């Protein structure tokens, strides 16, 4: 895959070797959807998902990660967009929209029939990309253990 998009001083890459696990863990562990998640689990989800990092590049060519997104998929029937974030100090610049656009335009994911996601507060962001509420939520089920991260 290894794709890169640039809007200086920012760039997005799907190169997992650039990901800063401490940044990802730091954000997710305080998020409402993954509160308390252990670092080892973050390493596992990175290994088993398609991932994108959003970075700010400095004048000396060094860079720091400021955002993240991942997709869990079978590359055909379904893709689950998750863990999308931009660090608070970089929000409000359109970077989250750009990150979502890059993920959704990934050629590897073009064959996917159904995209899903879950969000408590960003419905309007995702609606602009064609996401809608489930038309028949009674057909969907879940098995959810909200205390799992506290036990394992």
Degrees (nearest 5) of the Cα angle 64, 121, 15? 30
Q: What is the pLDDT of residue 35?
A: 92
| Spatial separation of the C-alpha atoms in residues 124 and 5, rounded to whole Å | 24
- Rg, C-alpha atoms of the chain: 16
Dihedrals phi, psi of 121, to nearest 5 degrees: -145, 5
Question: Which secondary structure element, helix H or strand E, spans residue 65, and what is its range?
Answer: strand 63-73
Structural domains counted in the chain: 1
**Total number of residues shown for the chain:** 152
Instruction: Provide CB contacts within 8 A for 117, sequence distance 6+.
Output: 80, 81, 82, 126, 131
Query: Which residue range forms the structural domain that includes residue 127?
Result: 4-151
**What is the percent of the chain where pLDDT is above 90?**
89
pTM, whole model, 2 decimals? 0.93
> Over 93-134, what HEC string results?
CCHHHHHHHHHHCCHHHCCCCEEECCCCCCHHHHHCCCCCCC
pLDDT digits (tens, 9 = 90+) for 73-122: 999 999 999 999 999 999 999 999 999 999 999 999 999 999 999 999 99
- The CATH number linked to 100 is 3.40.630.30
Query: Which of 131, 113, 116 is CA-nearest to residue 75?
Result: 113
SS3 144: coil
Whether 1 has a pLDDT exceeding 70, the answer reads no
* pLDDT band, residue 2 (cuts 50/70/90): low
């Amino acid at each position: 895959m290894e794709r890169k998009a640039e809007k200086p001083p920012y760039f997005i890459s799907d190169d997992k070797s650039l990901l800063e696990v401490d940044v990802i863990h730091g954000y997710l562990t305080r998020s409402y959807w993954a509160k308390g998640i252990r670092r080892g689990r973050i390493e596992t989800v990175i290994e088993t998902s398609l991932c994108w990092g959003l970075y700010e590049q400095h004048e000396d060519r060094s860079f720091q990660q400021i955002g993240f997104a991942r997709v869990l998929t079978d590359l055909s029937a379904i893709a689950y967009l998750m863990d999308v974030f931009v660090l608070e100090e970089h929000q409000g610049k359109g970077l989250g929209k750009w990150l979502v656009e890059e993920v959704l335009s990934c050629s590897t994911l073009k064959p996917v029939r159904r995209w899903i996601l879950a969000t408590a507060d960003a419905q309007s962001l995702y609606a602009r990309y064609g996401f809608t509420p489930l038309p028949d939520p009674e057909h969907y089920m879940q098995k959810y253990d909200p205390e799992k991260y506290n036990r394992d």
